Structures are given as structure tokens and as C-alpha cells.
Structure 1
Amino acid sequence: MTSQALEILNFEQQLQVQDDSFKELSVLDKDGNIIDEAGFEAAELSDDKLVELMKRMIKQLVLNERSVKLAKQGRLGFVAPTRGQEASQTATSFAFNDADYLMPGYRDIPQMIHKGFPIYKAFLWSRGHHEGNLMEGINTWFPQIIIGAQFVEAAGIGLGMKKRQLDACAYTYTGDGGSSQGDTYEGMNIAGAFKANAVFIIQNNGYAISTPRKVQTAATHLASKGWGAGIPSIVVDGMDAIACYLAAKKAREWTVAGNGPVLIETMTDRLEPHSMSGDDPLRYRTKESIEEWQKLEPLIRMRIFLENKNLWSEAIESEYKEEVNAEIDDAVKKADNVQKQKVSEFIETTFEQPGFVQAEQIEKFREAGK
């Protein structure tokens, strides 16, 4: 006779059930073949949209290459590389529209630029210039440096959108390291409790800053953390652009319909350092592991897929890269020509209304011409 009590108390089975509960969403395999026709049809990606998505991914790639070089030259400040995450970032963001509000983390500059944020301002943000935090006319906030804080902010914006009955949502990103922060869960919990219009995306790139994901948490999947907040949660192949787009598209449809938030965990890899501020990934991972992930790069499978549909070619890609590089050249010049900030101006822009001590400092530095 089966005992319900002993079945409930089977802790080992509970762990197995958790592991089995999250199947990984995939549409495009590593060789560029559609492995789920129904999933591809559900994505509703026309040929024009597929080409536009590919262009955005290429733009992210080129922007990353140039930003890394500029950082090495000392011409940028903080830079967080994004190579390997073109599907996880660009393909998910492609599913949202202008009315939706992006709450980015510091690695999410590409999504901001796809939304219309000027590249030169992104460079100014990296340099710490106050103009890099001006977001006029674009529904995005500046990149959050506090790990996970953007989840709390997205919950608030998403709740406001729900109360106003807007056909829009807030969407936000963090990494696997960010999922270990209290703010991340608190944001999801608030959004879940009030059924806010929000989509949360955890980019599981395996190592946070330097800590392997298996050391960060015993959770079988990071997506399971959404269940604790009563949120539908899914795991997606983060190197599959079509699957990432489909997941974000369906999550957006769900949340703007008033059903509450969704959590998406993308299984991806950061193929370069955590940041250009002295990180060396070979101190905590092997060269072989990086090479294995390189074989799964999102752009490889998308190139094959689109070339087989006669929508893409080496010539098209080369021409578009030149176009993006020219745009970045102009952005660098424009950023370089923006008047440098003085110390007094840094203090002035810290608070809307400087306090007594700050006012004294501003006056002191002004008198010194700084």
C-alpha cells in the first residue's frame, strides 16, 4: 500500500522532480536546423524580421569588439563584454516594443541601443559623464550597477503600467550572480503578489563575476526561484536566438494581458571577461570550456539558418559591419567632443538639491577652476 506521508517525505524524489520540471526551450539547433516547426511558427518571424534580428545581433557583436578595444586603449571606463550573449540579450529584447520599459543592468548596453539610446551616450555613461545618464524620449533607465536592484524597479514600473491598464510592460535582466541577490527575489515577489506587468530575465552565463553557478546555489534551475514568487518560469537555450525571441514574445503577451509576471532563465555563456577592469576568466575556468561554448555561439547557427533561406551571406554581413563600424566611429568622435566635466559639476549632478557640505565643495572647486 502506497503511503502518502512517506511519498511527501521523499526528499530525494523532490530534488528529482525539480530537475525534471524545467525542460529547455529550443527551436534552432547548433547546426542551424529548425528542430521544432510549431515553435518556429509560433515565433511569427517573417523573413524581414529574421534579417532585422540578425542585424541587431551583428551590431551587438561589433559594438562589443569596439568597446573592448576602446577599453584597452583607456578611452572608455567600465565595459562589460557581451560576446556569446547575442541571443540572450538582443533576441529577447527584439520581442518588446517602444512602449515597454527596459530596466538594464550594466551588461545590457546593447538592449538600450536597440531601443534607440545613442551609442555616444553609452560611451559617455562608461566614462562617468552625466550626459550618459540622460534618457530623453526613450523608455529605458540607465544601467543599474547595484546587482539585482533593477528587478525591484521593474516591479514598480510594471505595477504602474498594470494600474493604468497600459498595453505595455517592464522588462529587465540580471545574471546568474544577480539571482543570488535579495533584490532579485524581492522584485519578483512584489511583482508576483500584485500581478505586475513585468518580464524578468536571468542570463545564466555560468560564473557570475568568478563564482561557478553550482557554488552560488543548490537550486536545480535558477528558474525555480520564480516559483517561490508564484511566477510562471521557464528555461531557454540562450544560444538559440529564435527560442529566446519566442520565450520573450510569449512572456510579454502573458503579462500585458494582466496575468502577472514571467521569469525566463537563458542558458548562455560569457565568452570574455566579466569586465575589462582586470578580470581574467582563466583563473576560474578552463580554456577548453570556453572553446566548447564558442562552438555554440548564437551567430553561428543563425548564419547557417539564414544562409539556407537565402536571406544572408558573407557579403551582406561584411557590408553591414562596415556600416556599424562607421556609426561607432562617429559616436566616438561625438563623445570625445562633449565638454569634459569639472569636479564641481560632478558634485552638482549627484543630488537634485546639493546639501550644505556639497554646496561648500562646489564653491571651493569652482573658485579653483575645477
Structure 2
Amino acid sequence: MWIEQEQLEIEMIKYIDEDGKALHTDSSIEKEKLIEMYTGMVKARVFDVRAMKLQRQGRIGTYAPLQGQEAAQIGSAFATGEKDWIYPSYREIGVSLMKGMPMEKLFLYTMGHLEGLAQKEANVFPVQIIIGAQYLHAVGGAWASQYKGEDSVSVAYIGDGGTSEGDFHEALNFAGVYKLPIVFIVQNNQWAISVPFEKQTASKTIAQKALAYGISGVKVDGNDVVAMYTTMKKAIEKAKAGKPVLIEAVTFRQGPHTTADDPTKYRLTDEETQWSKKDPLVRMKKHLIQSGIWNEEKDKKLFDEMDSSVTQAFEKAQSTEPSQLKDVFENIYQEKTRQLEEQQLQAEGGNRP
């Protein structure tokens, strides 16, 4: 029997439409949680907008914006537990903030300060620049967690472009074979730098790739924070039961790939306009107002508070002393090896012991 793509019918999970209207009645999320998720989205958006401005002013280094992907990040991160581990790429600012990373640490990272990678406040691994490598790291972490009998799940994030890397396929294959407690999240933001999704893969969806590796796959509206949160909760349950999950979060990168990119050279304005109507913050705000638990006054107050918090965080980061050479050697192992001590001595101009 031939297996053809046409046999697959993959429906996208959605709980809230573009007008903020609830599409399901089986979502019993408390209003406090809804507000907390929206607060996390606003925090990420305000940080992101400020970071873009600071980079253009030359006050921080190259930056990868997340605007438009707040729901995919906040909804999934909000569903994780305190013991769960996050393995991010360079765009998961929202995830890191939701997991408790201080904003000043994220600013320090963009300034090239080593303290920005010393993420001790939350179970978030250092930012991974190599495309797809974090998937393999997450698999290793999940395998270790399984071996030690820990009650935790590893969560790895990647973009649609990263699914073309060998690391992506190796990670899913290993997870499927060893039935690891892991959730793979692909934020399909439609563009891998200047390469559109339809040229990235011949598959109709990314979610269907899970079938080849014997794991569960699901496609979610990545601009619907409620859908992301609800789906992620179920995915974590599956992962803890030895059933790895691949989530395709369909969303859109509103800004450039990084501040070194110019999307006007490859993306049409009409596409951006269409996706702007699906903005995750606008959608969630409408939903909260329609639910009677939010209003314009509360919204303005929240944005003002977050703007003030971002200002304070940047000022704190800016006043931090620059990293020193010795810091490079102090943040590798808990206890330095003899080889590392020798390298440090040589680097600092000393003699080899």
C-alpha cells in the first residue's frame, strides 16, 4: 500500500478566533490564569519593542525579535512545571521571562556579558545559537531525567527552518526509540530568514513529521495562547507517560529574523497585513474584555508598568561591570579541572604549573 500525503488530514487546534471569541466551551481556565498569560505576553512584547530600539541605538548587540510569537511562547511555557527544563534557541525571550529569568539578565546577554548566560534563577539552558543543536541537548536532558527517575519534562524550541537540520531528525528519532519525557515545539513563523515555509519542506505540515519517528504530533494555532496552553498541558502528560510529542505552533514573525536582517527584501506587505489581523496580543485582549475581566484602563496600566520594569532592568544591566577574562573560566564547571586551570594561567600571562 502506498502512503501519500493526501491521506493525512491534520486539523489545527484553536480555542479563540481572531475576534477574541471563544470557540470551545470545554476550556475551564481560571480568569486569574488568563490574565497571568496575557500579562506575560505584554511583558514579552514591551521588552521586545524596547530591545529593538536599543539595538538600533547601538546600546545592545544583535537581537532576534519575537514580536508576533508571544502566544506560542507564553502559552507553552505557562503550562510547564517548576521542575521542567527549557532548551531555547535565540528567539525564546518570552519563554525565558515566563520561566522567571530576570529581564536584566536577558539584556546582559545581548550586551555580550557572561552573566547573561549564567541562568541560575530558572530551569532554562543557555541560549543556543547553532540551529537545531538544542533539540539534541534536550534529548540528552530528557534521557538523564528518565534514567534518574525524575518527575520532569524537557521542552525544546525551534523554528520551522530548524526542521531542515539533521539535529532535528536525530533528536525526534532518539526520543521515539527511547520513549523520552520530552516535548518538541516548532514555532512555524512562516519564514526561515528569507526562505518561505513552502520551500522549507514538501510536507503539508510539520506536525506530520512526528509519525515517521513514532511519536505524537499536533498542529496548533500559535497565535492563540489558550490553545497553546491547553495543548501543552496535554503534551506534558503524554511526555511523562513515555510518549514524546511534537507541537507545530503556526504563527508569524512580525519583525526581521534578527536586527541584521531586512524582511522588506523578501516579504510582501500584503502578507504582513493579513497576519497583523491575527496578532496574539490583540486577540487575547479582545477575549479578556469580552469575558468581562479586562478593560482599556487596566490594559494601559499594565503596559505602563511593564514599560517601567523594562527601563529599570536595562538600567541595572547597563550599570553592571563588564565581564572579565577570569569570568570565562569560572562559569564552565562547578569545580575547575586541572586542564582548565592551566588554560586560565596561560591566558592570564602566567607560566604553566
User: TM-score, structure 2 length as denominator?
Assistant: 0.93
Match runs of 1:110-259 below 5 Å: 110-256=94-240, 258-259=241-242
- 1:276 maps to amino acid: T
Match of 2:348 in 1: 362
For the 8 Å contact 1:80–1:107, the answer to whether it is kept is yes
- TM-score scaled to structure 1, two decimals? 0.89
Q: Secondary structure at the match of 1:31?
A: coil
Match of 1:49 in 2: 33
From 296, 299, 305, give the equivalent of 2:287: 305
Deviates more, 1:348-357 or 1:97-106: 348-357
Deviation (angstroms), 1:137 = 4.0
Equivalent runs, 1:88-107 vs 2, <5 Å: 88-107=72-91
1:321 alignment partner AA: F
Partner residue of 2:264? 282
Post-superposition offset of 1:360: 3.5
1:348–1:362 contact (8 Å) kept in structure 2: no
Contact in 1 for aligned 2:207/2:219 (Cα 8 Å): yes
Correspondence for 1:4: none
Which residue does the alignment assign to 2:315?
A: 333
- Is the CA contact (8 Å cut-off) linking 1:347 and 1:362 kept in structure 2? no
Question: Residues 215 and 349 of structure 1: is their aligned pair in 2 closer, same or farther, counting only changes over 3 Å?
Answer: farther
Conservation of the 8 A alpha-carbon contact between 1:130 and 1:349: no
Secondary structure of 1:259's aligned partner: coil
Of 244, 252, 255, which aligns to 1:272? Answer: 255
Change (3 A) 1:15 1:324: same
- In the alignment, structure 1 segments of 5+ residues that lack a partner are 1-7, 365-370
Larger Cα-atom Rg? 1
Structure 1 contact 95–249 (Cα < 8 Å) conserved: yes
Structure 2, unmatched stretches of 5+, are 334-338
* Partner residue, 1:292: 274
Q: Distance in 2 between matches of 1:85 and 1:58?
A: 12
The corresponding residue for 2:302 is 320
- SS across alignment from 1:363: coil
Q: Which residue identity lines up with residue 145 of structure 1 in the other structure?
A: I
1:260 aligned residue: 243
**Stretch deviating more after TM superposition (188-197 or 344-353):** 344-353
RMSD: 1.8
Deviations 1:259-313 (A, max 9, x none): 3210000110000000112x01111110110011000111112111110111111
State the shift of 1:67 in Å. Answer: 0.8
Displacement over 6 Å in runs of 4+: 355-358
> 2:15 maps to what in 1?
27
For 2:16, give the aligned amino acid.
L
Q: 1:314 offset after TM fit, Å?
A: 1.4
Percentage of matched positions with identical amino acids: 35
Mapped partners of 1:205, 1:64: distance in 2 = 16
**Deviations, residues 88-120 of structure 1 (Å, cap 9, x unaligned):** 111111111211111111000221111111111
1:329 CA displacement:
1.3
Say how many residue pairs are matched: 345
Distance 1:309 1:27 in 2: 14
Residue by residue, what CA displacement relative to the aligned partner does 1:51-93 show, whole Å, maximum 9, x if unpaired?
1111111111111111111111111113111111011111111
- Secondary structure at the counterpart of residue 74 of structure 2: helix
1:259 and 1:34 map into 2 onto residues whose CA distance is 32
Return the alpha-carbon distance in structure 2 between the equivalents of residues 80 and 146 of structure 1.
Answer: 14
* Partner AA of 2:296 in structure 1: E
What is the alpha-carbon distance in structure 2 between the residues aligned to residue 50 and residue 16 of structure 1?
Answer: 37
Distance 1:347 1:46 in 2: 45
Could you give the per-residue CA deviations for residues 1-42 of structure 1, whole angstroms, max 9, x where no partner exists? xxxxxxx24x6xx12113x2x11111111111111223x2xx
The offset of 1:153, in angstroms, is 1.0
